[in-house]
Amino acid sequence: MSSIALYIHFPFCLSICPYCDFDRQATGFDRIDVYLSMLERELLQYAGAGETVHSIFFGGGTPSLMRPEQVAQVLASARRTFDVLPDAEITLECNPGDADLEKLKAFKSVGATRLSFGVQSLDDHYLKLLGRRHSSDEARQAASWARQAGLPFNLDFMFGLPDQSLAHWEQTLAEAVKLEPDHLSCYLLTLDERVPMGRDVARGRLVLPVDDDLAEMYTATCQDLAAAGYEQYEISNWARPGQASRHNLTYWRDGQWIGVGAGAASSYAGRRWKNTPVLERYIESVKAAAATAACVEDERPDRQTQMVDYLTLGLRLREGVSLGDFADRFGVDPLVLLGETGEWLVSQGFLELQLQLQLQLQLESDGTRLRIAEQHQMITNEILVRLEAPIADYVRRETSASQIAAR
């Protein structure tokens, strides 16, 4: 049986960044102990499921605010619940400035194998604009401490910041590479209109770079990081060879994962759900209802949704999707499924077919793979949206054929 990933959500932050719309809060710090004990209770309900875990990710919020003993205790509960592989990847998200060398060493000693720092920028002007609590020097210090602590680390950056130029972003990338991260995530700043920075953009108080400039920044990211020895394995993720995140690959390869904590999402045993992000509701529901958290989303995706999701997740990866794996899972060749739309996307060079013979980036299978052409990654969403109609048509025809056969 294949293994699963485990996500642990720690929603507390010391302050709220004006661009962020994740499930997080800068209140309720006196509830951390009770929150963690409920989270462990939620986790322990899976004891007996007989699952093996290959990765654990403490995400947030700001998990680096946890004391190492608290991380150790959650990990002990995870080990009591699941068969956690001895070489499991165990990542802890950290905010630079919230953890010193001693704390990072302590995280390692209780089981963390990897850190992920939210750096966002190495320019103090932008760090201030982004409401970050750390300076660029503190971010550099954090990277150096991670190295001293002997933990591989990722650095998160955002580009397309207000008034940011291509030259400025490339300078950030050059400085980031000097910190010798094992992994880099570079996200395009995306602002919901409900967050303060989104409102400032809507009112014209902040101006974001135009699409052509963003495209240039993205292309430069691909080129500069490749030149520095990083392999791109997903639209926003680059790694030194062998350092791709096993946890994140689970999501994009449409594997199974269980998420625990307020706001955590799960995809397990054919069901997808998301826990309530409201802290007190989460705590009360786990206390009351046989350790089950109240959900804000809960569905069993139908065949059409499963096929769309498998392709839209897998095509975000540079490895793309194996035609053979897709056919084994859904009983249809993706090229047949996508019909004329698929043929057109391939003929126009948006999608490409590749014979993959090497086991690069921990690929699980060889054979022909379908992927988005490198130069069209910027318009991945526009390409993916075109796959939905042919899949819906195929499933409709399949359903009518089976109804006719049943008559």
Q: How many CB atoms lie within 10 A of CB 64?
A: 25
CA 190/CA 206 separation, integer angstroms: 13
In the list 3, 51, 53, 60, the residue contacting ligand SF4 (rule: CB under 6 A) is: 60
Query: Considering the rule CB under 6 A, would residue 59 count as an interface residue with ligand SAM?
Result: yes
Amino acid at 234: E
- Please state the closest distance from residue 221 (CB atom) to ligand SAM, in A: 13
Q: CA 352: distance to chain centroid? A: 24
Query: Considering the rule CB under 6 A, would residue 17 count as an interface residue with ligand SF4?
Result: yes
- Please state the closest distance from residue 190 (CB atom) to ligand SF4, in A: 12
Nearest CB to ligand SAM, comparing residues 2 and 144 = 144
> Contact 145/108 with Cβ under 8 angstroms?
no
> Contact 4/258 with Cβ under 8 angstroms?
yes
End-to-end CA distance of the chain: 38
Which range binds ligand SF4 by CB under 6 A, 15-23, 218-226, 254-262, 326-334? 15-23
Residues 24-43 that bind ligand SF4 (CB under 6 A): 24
Q: CA 160: distance to chain centroid? A: 19
What is the total count of residues that contact ligand SAM (CB under 6 A)? 16
Q: Give which of 4, 21, 49, 41 is closest to 267, Cα–Cα.
A: 4
Nearest CB to ligand SF4, comparing residues 115 and 378 = 115
> Contact 277/10 with Cβ under 8 angstroms?
no
Cis peptide bond upstream of 131, omega within 30: no
Q: Give which of 215, 205, 220 is closest to 167, Cα–Cα.
A: 220
Query: Considering the rule CB under 6 A, would residue 60 count as an interface residue with ligand SAM?
Result: yes
Which range binds ligand SF4 by CB under 6 A, 20-28, 172-180, 216-224, 275-283? 20-28
Query: Considering the rule CB under 6 A, would residue 337 count as an interface residue with ligand SF4?
Result: no
| Structure tokens belonging to residue 288 | 């009351």
CA 406/CA 324 separation, integer angstroms: 29
Q: Give which of 119, 247, 136 is closest to 185, Cα–Cα.
A: 119
> For residue 37, what are the CA distances in angstroms to 42, 43, 106, 314?
9, 10, 21, 35
Query: Considering the rule CB under 6 A, would residue 330 count as an interface residue with ligand SAM?
Result: no
Nearest CB to ligand SF4, comparing residues 261 and 342 = 261
Which range binds ligand SAM by CB under 6 A, 37-45, 142-150, 189-197, 267-275? 189-197
| Structure tokens belonging to residue 152 | 């591989």
In the list 16, 166, 188, 332, the residue contacting ligand SF4 (rule: CB under 6 A) is: 16
Query: Considering the rule CB under 6 A, would residue 190 count as an interface residue with ligand SAM?
Result: yes
Which entry of ligand SAM, ligand SF4, none binds 16, CB below 5 to 8 A by partner kind? ligand SF4
Nearest CB to ligand SF4, comparing residues 133 and 386 = 133
Which entry of ligand SF4, ligand SAM, none binds 208, CB below 5 to 8 A by partner kind? none
Nearest CB to ligand SF4, comparing residues 64 and 266 = 64
Edge-to-edge strand list for the sheet holding 153-159: 231-234, 237-239, 183-188, 153-159, 114-120, 83-94, 52-60, 4-10, 257-260, 265-268, 271-275, 295-299
Query: Considering the rule CB under 6 A, would residue 342 count as an interface residue with ligand SAM?
Result: no
Residues within the interface to ligand SAM (CB under 6 A)? 19-20, 22, 59-60, 62, 93, 95, 118, 120, 156, 158, 187, 189-191
Residues in contact with ligand SF4 by CB under 6 A are 13, 16-17, 20, 22, 24, 60-62, 95, 118
